Structure 1
Amino acid sequence: MQFHFNSWLVYFYFYCIFGWVFESTYVSLRTHKLTNRGFMKGPWLPLYGSGAILVLLVTLPYADHPVGVYFAGMIAATILEYITGVVMVKLFKVRYWDYSYKKIQFQGHICLSSSLAWGGLSLLMVYVIHPPIVKFIAMWNENVVNILTFIVTICMAYDFANAFREAMDLRALIIQAEELKKRMEEVVAEKREAFAETVEERREQFAQSVAESKEQLAESRERLAESLDERKEKFAETVSETRERIAESVAESKEQLAVRQQQWEKETAERQQRREEQAAERKEKRQETAAARKERIERSLAELTNASENLKKRMEEHSGQLLLHNPGASYFGMKEESGEIRRRLLERRKK
């Protein structure tokens, strides 16, 4: 029986299902929990099917040369893995795997150990796995194969459409979460800035108070010096006069000095009162502005925190398949948030 395009489609579906069985069994045994791996809900992983078909096609010219099969399969599978990872991040804003912790890796999408493993799997695929599969499928009735292929195509297309829609819904939520996170960082930065400004204002107030005290002290010294000079001058003038004139001059000098002293004290009190009124007015305005700003910042933080919590709950509803069944998966640029949502989902599952 000759299959042509149909045969490659059958191989693709077979390896999609085989990959799902392999991945789900491996992860279930490792985590001691039944796990449905993959992007879709059905028992298939398109990445495995695509990888298998790609490896089989690129290794055809090297079928008689194991070394060629190894390197051709390794390079092809690595390129496919990289492209798939990049597309997933760009399209869905999700990382389904992350090799960033590996010593030799590139952008977290590919790594040396994985590439070497792809080469080994290519040898296994070409020489061990695929030949029996070809014989097994060839034993089936062509009509039965066509019917099964049609059914799987419909099921997988429906599953993919739903998975794609959910992934795009999740992408919209991730974008909202990114914007919310950015806004919250801006508000926190503004809060820190407001605190720094308050500290700086208090420093300025203290410096201004010290400057005013120095100014008042300088004025007092100046007045005292003027008073002493006037007294000396009056005393020098009265030495050459009679005692009566001295007494009269001294009395007049005291009277004038008292008047000047009274006038100086009045002016000083008025200046001090104006300074205090201006300082109190400035302080009141600063306090009103600072209080209003603090209230606005706190209100914004409360609103953003509430919005973030609601958004995380919505993301939980769309993340069960992704985060619970793919331990290495995370939202792009939101690893901490992914871990928190995964913990919530696990706690909910335990309950």
Structure 2
Amino acid sequence: MWNIQIAGVDIYHIVNWFYIYSFLGWLWESSYVSIKEKKLVNRGFVAGPVCTIYGFGAVIVYLILKPIAGNILLLYICGVIVPTILEYVTAVLMEALFHTSWWDYSKNKFNFQGRICLGASLGWGVFSVILFYVFQPFVDWIVSLYSVATGKLLVSVATLVYAVDFGMSYMNAMQIGEKLRNMDAVMDELYEYIQNTKLYESTEELKERLAHYRLPEYVPELKQRLEDRVNAMVAFAGESPEEFKARQEGRLAELAERFGAAQKRFERLKGMSNVFTRRTMNAYPNMKSRAQALKERAVRKVGKGSREQ
């Protein structure tokens, strides 16, 4: 098995490269995000110190682009295209499998569906060139430090540990997807209630305002919106001050009750987690359900279209 070749490279070296690149990718991602967030973050799908998307990406890019390694310009161009396709396919597969969106480039310029963007793609091109001229010689040197027998043993143990870790992470990801969908259900109920109160002119306006849901931050604005609405009703219908006060207090009390109930449900859902769930949510704080990601992309697309008109 170890001598089977793919694109002129045997399985032994491919698997060794995969784990080394996965570890290097984990070092890069975790260090970058930890510095950015100013706290320690264990990045990656699995709990162990590997980012498998880097391992797969680096090996696949190397095997595909190896024939053009001598042409730096062509290597860069293809290094933009191939990893971008891999990133897009990975995003689609993870959303379809786990019903969650793990990253979102929607706020970046020149993005496509929030899954890929021009800035990241250009960066992949630079990485691909560095991969061939810096990383691959370094990784080959690491593999040469130990015997083939040792390498086979290390890879076998790493694969066993990774398989267990992946299985647990898979179940954890499915639970996170379910939790995010339940949180979205709480939001949708709140959307419907507030829409029925006519505090906002349209559901889309409300969804845009609450895209990054933080209940306490919106209570004052909603109360003010309610007061303005009631004032307008009073002016139109000629209600007495006493009637106005009773209406206002009643609606404000109902609004506060709705927000309080929603907040409790949110806190209960947040509490239904284990160490693996907390690790994943900490690693990907912007993770959201696939349905919610699609809604936000649609809202931004509509907003962009109206601005262009």
TM-score, with normalisation over the residues of structure 2?
Answer: 0.68
Q: Give the equivalent residue in structure 2 for 1:43.
A: 49
Hey, what's the Cα distance between the residues in 1 that align with 2:42 and 2:270? 23
Distance 1:73 1:312, change over 3 A: same
- TM-superposed deviation, 1:96: 2.8
Aligned 8 A contact 2:18 2:59 in 1: yes
- One of 283, 294, 298 as aligned partner of 1:325: 283
Match of 1:141 among 139, 147, 153: 147
AA aligned to 1:45 is C
Aligned AA (2:149) = N
Cα distance, 1:301 vs structure 2: 7.0
Counterpart of 1:323 in structure 2: which amino acid? M
Q: Separation in 2 of the partners of 1:184 and 1:31?
A: 31
Q: What residue in structure 1 maps to residue 74 of structure 2? A: 68
- Tell me the equivalent position of 1:267: none
Rounded Cα–Cα distance in structure 2 between residues aligned with 1:176 and 1:62 = 49
The structure carrying a bigger helix percent of its residues is 1
2:34 corresponds to: 28
**For residue 310 of structure 1, what is the aligned residue in structure 2?**
268
- The offset of 1:33, in angstroms, is 2.8
Alpha-carbon displacement from aligned partner over 1:207-248 (angstroms, at most 9, x marks no partner): xxxxxxxxxxxxxxxxxxxxxxxxxxxxxxxxxxxxxxxxxx
Q: Which residue of 2 aligns with 1:154?
A: 160
For 1:209-220, list aligned pairs within 5 A: none
Conservation of the 8 A alpha-carbon contact between 2:21 and 2:58: yes
Task: Give the Cα–Cα distance (whole angstroms) in 2 for the partners of residues 66 and 142 of structure 1.
Answer: 32
- Select the structure of larger CA radius of gyration: 1
1:24 counterpart letter in structure 2: S
Q: Distance in 1 between matches of 2:132 and 2:162?
A: 26
Structure 2 residues without counterparts, runs of 5 or longer: 4-8, 200-225, 240-249, 294-309
SS of the aligned residue for 2:70 comes to coil
Superposed CA RMSD in Å reads 3.6
Distance 2:271 2:143 in 1: 46
Shift in CA distance, 51/131, structure 1 to aligned 2, threshold 3 Å: same
Q: What 5-or-longer segments of structure 1 have no aligned partner?
A: 206-290, 336-351
CA distance in 2, matches of 1:82, 1:185: 31
What is the identity, as a one-letter code, of the residue corresponding to 1:312? K
The alpha-carbon deviation at position 316 of structure 1 amounts to 8.6
1:16 positional shift? 0.5
Letter in 2 for 1:325: A
Matched, 1:103 2:109: yes
Question: Could you tell me how far apart the structure 1 residues matched to 2:49 and 2:70 are?
Answer: 34
**1:128 partner letter:** V
SS in 2 for 1:59: helix
The answer to whether the 8 Å contact 2:169/2:276 transfers is no
Distance 1:94 1:6, change over 3 A: same
Percent identity of equivalent pairs: 29
> Could you state the TM-score of these two structures normalised by the residue count of structure 1?
0.60
Equivalent residue for 1:92, pick from 86, 91, 98: 98
Please give the alpha-carbon distance, in whole angstroms, between the structure 1 residues aligned to 2:48 and 2:276. 16
8 Å CA contact retained: 1:96, 1:330:
yes
